[in-house]
Amino acid sequence: MSPTSPLVVVMGVSGSGKSVVGAALAQRLRVPFGDADDLHPATNIAKMTAGEALDDDDRRPWLEAIGLWLAGQDVEGGVIGCSALKRKYRDQLRHHAPRVVFLHLDGSRDVIARRQASRPGHFMPTSLLTSQFATLERLAPDEAGVVIDVDQSVDAIVQQYVDQAAAVLTAKEISS
């Protein structure tokens, strides 16, 4: 792999498909996949399982772990599924991996709630969906990334990302 191998954060609210789409995208791009849920400290999982939303203090060490994962994948490339709901969270990730590109899996509350309901046993209860949407700060024009509607097949989402990625990377290189 070259130092320009894809480095992607698949972001969005809980239930948007970050893990499924991220794994499929990583396979398509032939790079490793990581799931940020696996990097949560036990205290965060316990808090979410109890129906409590995480605050910025809870997220800070988790985001550091994700940033370190991204930095470790800088040469080989990689895809990680991570909510990255606020600009400052994405900035924290970019601090570790400046060339990272974001894929925001976007959808209506109804579509996401339906998807979330199809994941029995996940530690994130559907009751926290409202707080996820309240926290979400959409990608700003100066952030390298694409927004894709989740109300389609995983294959269609991956293909749409691949089709748009070259344009995003070209725009990012021009602005650097």
Assign residue 28 a region (left: φ > 0; alpha: ψ between -120 and 50; beta: otherwise). alpha
In tens, the pLDDT along 80-98 reads: 999 999 999 999 999 999 9
Do the beta carbons of residue 16 and residue 112 sit within 8 Å? yes
Task: Give me the pLDDT at residue 48, please.
Answer: 81
pLDDT of residue 159: 95
Q: Tell me how far apart the alpha carbons of residues 134 and 33 are, in angstroms, rounded to a whole number.
A: 28
Taking the C-alpha atoms of residue 157 and residue 80, their distance in angstroms, rounded to an integer, is: 16
- Of the pLDDT bands very low, low, confident and very high (cuts 50, 70, 90), residue 2 is very low
Q: What are phi and psi of 10, to 5 degrees?
A: -90, 115
Alpha helices (H) in the chain, listed in sequence order = 18-29, 42-49, 56-72, 87-96, 109-117, 129-135, 154-175
* pLDDT tens profile 17-59: 999 999 999 999 999 999 998 999 999 989 888 888 788 999 9
In tens, the pLDDT along 105-152 reads 999 988 888 777 665 554 455 567 888 898 999 999 999 999 999 999
